[in-house]
């Protein structure tokens, strides 16, 4: 939420955050279903779509699409 607007300064942080979210969701799928419930409760899919609508770098879009593919 603190990095809702993507800049060159925060793009690498956002990519790493998206990777971490993917890993947490995979772990949650295998171990604790409440992790995905939390993901849905916080409406993270809408946040992901807001990121895609911005003029972001290629790496952010690729990582976000990989994260969505994992879902």
* pLDDT over 90 at 27, yes or no: yes
Highest mean pLDDT among 40-44, 49-53, 66-70: 40-44
Confidence of residue 45 (pLDDT cuts 50, 70, 90): confident
Report residue 3: phi and psi, to 5°.
-115, 50
Q: pTM to 2 decimals?
A: 0.79
Structure tokens of 39? 């993901």
Confidence of residue 58 (pLDDT cuts 50, 70, 90): confident
d(C-alpha 14, C-alpha 41), whole Å = 20
Structure tokens of 55? 């003029």
Average model confidence (pLDDT) for the chain?
86
């Amino acid at each position: 939420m603190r990095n809702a607007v993507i800049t060159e300064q925060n793009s690498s942080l956002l990519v790493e955050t998206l990777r971490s979210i993917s890993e947490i969701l995979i772990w949650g799928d295998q171990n604790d279903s409440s992790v995905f419930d939390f993901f849905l409760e916080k409406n993270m899919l809408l946040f992901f779509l807001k990121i895609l609508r911005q003029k972001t770098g290629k790496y952010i879009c690729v990582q976000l699409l990989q994260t969505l593919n994992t879902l």
